[in-house]
Amino acid sequence: MTSEVDTDLQSNSELSTALWSPDPDLNDELDKLDELDELSADLEMSFFDHLEELRLRIFYGILAVAIGAIGCFVYAKQIVQVLEIPAVGIKFLQLAPGEYFFVSVKVAGYCGLLVASPVILYQIIQFVLPGLTRRERQLVLPVVIGSSVLFVGGIAFAYYALIPAALNFLIGYGENVVEQAWSIDRYFEFVLVLLFATGLLFELPVVQILLSLLGILSSEVMLSGWKSVVVGSMVVGAIVTPSTDPLTQSLLAGAVLALYFGGIGVVKLLGK
């Protein structure tokens, strides 16, 4: 009888030891997860040091834009000619002295911002990087690459699809009624706004992925709000497109919806 009791006590002791002494491999995995969520202690800065760092990063960004704009101004004539290609058969007029010069400066500024965008993005990353956990730092490179590809894709979509569709509608609407001679300044306001607004809208999947990885939104929540997204995409299409034609608005709204549901698909693949 005594030996049976001793055996039971020994079994209970071994069970307790197993329960209260986790597997060393499990401990290692938990330690790794804790390390991923730890903030980097490589750099500790005071509030004024952060302000100085911010000022320096802003200065580098502005300098990059200025250098890019000056470089693009040298080739402003060629850039203007490329942006005029979608307006087939249109005669552009300079309605005020120096209008073409100011258009060239405006085009150079937009293109300089586009050329300097990698430098600006790099400066932003360098500023926020010390405050990110190791887990968040692993997302930096995919986010940068994805943002760049989508932004360029948005500009290409606007140049090859939205702008020709809008111009064809506007030209066709006034055909045989008015002579098609446009102000070069107004035309480039139309083109540049549409190009950069579309590029920014194409960043939608990146925003969705970041929100899911940070635990703010899940794919189910995003999918449940599809009706609001449909209405919102039509409103955004009406606001962003400088023209009032329904074809351009529908193309942009359709692209936004495709990007939104594509972003939900990627979030699902990530298990979120």
The per-residue pLDDT for range 61-77, each reduced to its tens digit, is 899 999 999 999 999 88
pLDDT digits (tens, 9 = 90+) for 186-214: 888 888 888 888 888 888 888 887 777 66
Report how far Cα 70 is from the mean position of its chain's Cα atoms: 25
Segments forming the whole domain that contains residue 187? 45-269
On whether the CB atoms of residues 60 and 123 are closer than 8 A, the answer is yes
Helical H segments across 202-245, by residue range: 204-213, 219-224, 226-240
Residue 125 has a pLDDT of 75
Residue pair 108/72 in contact by the 8 Å Cβ criterion: yes
Does 60 fall in a domain? yes
Give pLDDT, residue 67: 92
Q: Is the model more confident about 45 or about 189? A: 189
CA distance 127 to 54: 7
Q: For the segment 47-59, what is each residue's pLDDT rounded down to a tens digit?
A: 667 788 888 888 9
Rounded Cα distance, 89 and 225, in Å: 44
Q: Which residue has the tokens 């020709």?
A: 164
pLDDT for the residue 70: 92
In this prediction, residue 24 carries a pLDDT of 52
Please tell me the distance from the alpha carbon of residue 191 to that of residue 265, in angstroms, as a whole number. 32
Q: Which token pair is 205?
A: 């999947």
23 inside domain: no
141 within domain boundaries: yes
Place of tokens 């500024």: 109
| pLDDT of the residue at 269 | 80
- Please state, rounded to an integer, the average pLDDT across all residues of the chain: 76
Domain-embedded: residue 57: yes
Q: What is the pLDDT confidence band of residue 244, given thresholds at 50, 70 and 90? A: low
Give kind and range of the element (H or E) at residue 92.
strand 91-93
Q: Is residue 17 part of a domain?
A: no
Please check whether residue 119 is in contact with residue 60, taking contact to mean a CB–CB distance below 8 angstroms.
yes
Q: What is the pLDDT of residue 225?
A: 76
Q: How confident is the model at residue 149 (pLDDT cuts 50, 70, 90)?
A: confident
Stronger pLDDT, 115 or 39, i.e. the higher one:
115
Tokens of 78: 């060629």
- Percent of the chain at pLDDT > 70 equals 75
Residue 245 lies in a domain: yes
Mean pLDDT of 233-243: 73
pLDDT value at residue 114:
83
The mean pLDDT of 21-35, rounded to a whole number, is 49
Helix (H) or strand (E) holding 183: strand 181-183
Q: Is residue 16 part of a domain?
A: no
Do the beta carbons of residue 122 and residue 147 sit within 8 Å? Answer: no
Calpha distance 75→59 (Å, rounded): 25
DSSP alpha helices (H): ranges in 21-162?
24-36, 47-74, 76-84, 99-128, 134-137, 140-157
pLDDT tens digit sequence for 76-106: 889 888 888 888 778 888 888 888 898 899 8
Assigned domain for 31 exists: no
So what's the pLDDT on residue 136?
A: 63
For every residue of 98-129, DSSP letters joined together read THHHHHHHHHHHHHHHHHHHHHHHHHHHHHHG
Domains in the chain, number: 1
- φ, ψ of residue 173 in degrees (nearest 5): -65, -35
Using the predicted structure, report yes or no on whether residue 41 has a pLDDT greater than 60: no
More confident residue, 241 or 155: 155
Has residue 153 got a pLDDT over 70? Answer: yes
